[in-house]
Every structure is written in C-alpha cells, then in structure tokens.
C-alpha cells in the first residue's frame, strides 16, 4: 500500500510505494531519500526539548544530494540593486513547558537596530514571530524554510543580507559524517515536535552556498548549541585575553563554500554550550536573549567596530550574566573566509 512522504525541498506530501528508497518531487524535482517504515528511528528527548532523530532531507541519514534549480520563493525579493534585506525569526513557544519570554523582544530589538541605526528599509525586513497575524509569518518549519530562500533569492553584488534567529537550538546525530564532533547543530521552529528541526546542513545549502560574489550575509543566532549552525568552514577560537586563531573545519568530501560571496555568523555560544534568556540587562521583568542584547548594544555604542572588538564586547557583556546563571556561554564567530578580525570593520 502506498504511503505518504514529505518532499525535502518544497514540503508537499507525495504518495510513494512501500519499497521505495528515493523519490523525485513532481513540483520542485528535489530527490528525497527514504527509509523503510520498519527501520525508522524514534523520538527521544534532549535537554528538555523533544528531538527528532531525522534530517530535513528525508527520513534517513543525510545524503550528499545533487542540487536542482529551486522554484521562485512565494515572498518576492525587494527589487532594489545593492539592497539591504533581513529575515528576523523569534520563537517563544507559547504554551510549552520549555517556553521562552525573550525571543520576540529580541526580534523587535534587532529590527530597531537595523532600521534606526543601520539604514535598512522597513519593507526589506521580514519578521516571523508568533505575534504575526499572517499565517505565512508564523515561525513554522515550512515558513522559515521559505523565508530563508527569500532572503538570498536573486542576490547581487552590493547586497547586505541579515538572518537573525532567537529561540531554542539543539544537537542531533550527524548521519552523513561531515561534523568533527559527530553532531549536527539545529534550530527549533515552532512546530519542531511534529515537523522536526532545521539542521545546519540545510541552512548552509539554503543561505550560504547561493551567495554570489559581492554579496555579504551576517547571521546572528541566539540559541543553544549554535556555534557552527551555519556550517561555515572557519571557526574563530578566542581566549580570555582576546588572542585568536582560526580553526579550519573544512572537509574535502563536503562542499561548504559560498558561490563567491562572504558569510559571517555570530552565535550565542559554542556547540556544546547553552545560552541565557534573562532580565539582567533591562532592569525590569522584560526578558531578552543575552547574545542579542549584547550584539545590539555593542553596534549602537560604536558604529565602526571591527569583528574582533565586537566579539570581545559581547563576551564582556555576557560574562557576568553567564556566571550568575551558572552557565557557560561564550559568543562565537564563524566565517566563510579567514581574515584579521581586529582590522576588518563590521558592515551590515
């Protein structure tokens, strides 16, 4: 009897035969790898969050799969050459035992920074939160996937792209063996309990590989276990004195580069650490993510910060809060290229 499977590209349901191992979508032509029903892994819990031992490309181990032309995103890009464009996702997980209270506040703070300080047009910023009225702007897995494609669609030289996510992050088993530590990092959409997480392999495929020459992407990820969530090849390892060295995590068997553009990611913590959702910075009962707050404040205080000075400022701000919460949280910088972090200014 035929069974239903979800396309790993566009997400539509497909009817496939019980013995099928691979199926091609009739809509977007993406190949989805399948696993027999009796061999499917189950669900466990990790750090208090339900975790699906699956990957977005199918129900089995993450394959190296060929890339096919993707359909035009339903959200049209802003038609301005050399434009600034941003995707801001804040997930509070209302009604759940693991709910957060600061993620939507983080998104509001990030939008204020982009518009009022960095000159991003209001209509070039897409916000996905549980407070949005339009169903397409609720931070479900499919909506985030579509929005990520919108962010990089038609990118051109001079484009400045920003992806900000505030919510839960997690780790899950690395099925295709491209990770040094054996785990894929992942972001948890609102419906992750039923639809699964968005893993770093997919994020890299969607918003890193398409970056053309002259295009710059900055990701600001305020989530646990998020150090290498964009799967960028170079990790900046910094000690307490501010000295740093680039750690090369390239794997010759896996393509993890851009198409000529630049990608940078500021993450809340290392892959094995957790991040704080706190009232420590506001002096009120208003919660924010420690990482987002420290990022926004550092940029507002000094417009021409270098990457090194920004990373140091964030670490200094977060340090006391982390100790107060008994946590270990050290903001991380990863990049598509190695560079001198103390001479290159951050330009969003």
Q: Which residues are identified as catalytic?
A: 168, 224
The phi, psi pair for 152, rounded to 5°, reads -105, 0
User: Do 125 and 111 contact (CB within 8 A), yes or no?
Assistant: yes
Distance of CA 3 to the CA centre of its chain: 31
Helix, strand and coil percent figures for the chain, each rounded to 5: 25, 25, 50
What residue ranges in the chain does DSSP mark as E strands? 3-6, 13-16, 22-24, 31-33, 43-46, 49-52, 84-90, 125-129, 160-166, 169-173, 183-187, 198-199, 216-222, 234-238, 244-248, 262-267, 277-278, 288-289, 332-335
The gap between the terminal CA atoms of the chain, to the nearest Å, is 53
Rounded distance between C-alpha atoms, residue 136 and residue 144, angstroms: 9
Rounded distance between C-alpha atoms, residue 22 and residue 32, angstroms: 6
The set of residues, in sequence order, having a beta carbon less than 8 Å from that of 167 and lying 6+ positions away, is 89, 90, 91, 92, 93, 100, 103, 139, 187, 188, 189, 222, 223
Q: Which is it for strands 183-187 and 84-90: parallel, antiparallel or unpaired?
A: unpaired
Burial of 65 (0-12, 13-18, 19+ CB in 10 A): middle
């Amino acid at each position: 009897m035929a069974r239903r499977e979800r396309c790993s590209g566009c997400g539509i349901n497909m009817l496939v035969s019980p013995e099928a191992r691979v199926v091609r979508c009739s809509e977007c032509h993406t190949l989805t790898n399948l696993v027999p029903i009796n061999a499917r892994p189950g669900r466990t819990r990790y750090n208090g969050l339900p975790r699906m031992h699956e990957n977005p490309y199918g129900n089995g181990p993450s394959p190296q799969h060929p890339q096919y032309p993707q359909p035009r995103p339903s959200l049209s890009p802003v038609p301005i050459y050399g434009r600034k464009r941003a995707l801001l996702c804040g997930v509070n997980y209302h009604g759940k035992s693991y709910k957060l209270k600061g993620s939507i506040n983080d998104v509001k703070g990030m939008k204020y920074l982009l518009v009022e300080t960095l000159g991003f047009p209001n209509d070039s910023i897409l916000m996905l939160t549980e407070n949005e009225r339009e169903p397409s702007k609720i931070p479900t897995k499919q909506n985030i996937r579509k929005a990520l494609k919108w962010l990089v669609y038609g990118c051109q030289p001079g484009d400045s792209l920003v992806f900000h996510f505030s919510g839960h992050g997690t780790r899950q088993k690395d099925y295709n063996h491209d990770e040094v530590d054996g785990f894929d990092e992942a972001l948890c959409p609102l419906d992750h309990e039923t639809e699964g997480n968005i893993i770093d392999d997919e994020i890299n495929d969607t918003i890193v590989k398409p970056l053309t020459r002259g295009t710059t992407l900055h990701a600001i990820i305020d989530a646990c276990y998020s150090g290498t969530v964009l799967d960028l090849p170079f990790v900046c390892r910094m000690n307490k004195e501010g000295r740093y060295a680039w750690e090369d995590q390239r794997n010759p068997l896996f393509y993890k580069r851009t198409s000529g553009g630049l990608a940078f990611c500021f993450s809340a913590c290392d892959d094995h650490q957790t991040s704080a959702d706190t009232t420590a910075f506001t002096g009120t009962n208003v919660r924010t993510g420690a990482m987002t707050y420290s990022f926004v404040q550092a940029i507002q205080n000094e417009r021409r910060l270098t990457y090194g000075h920004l990373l140091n400022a964030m670490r200094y701000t977060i340090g006391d809060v982390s100790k107060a919460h008994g946590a270990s949280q050290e903001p991380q910088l990863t990049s598509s290229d190695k560079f001198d972090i103390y001479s290159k200014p951050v330009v969003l």
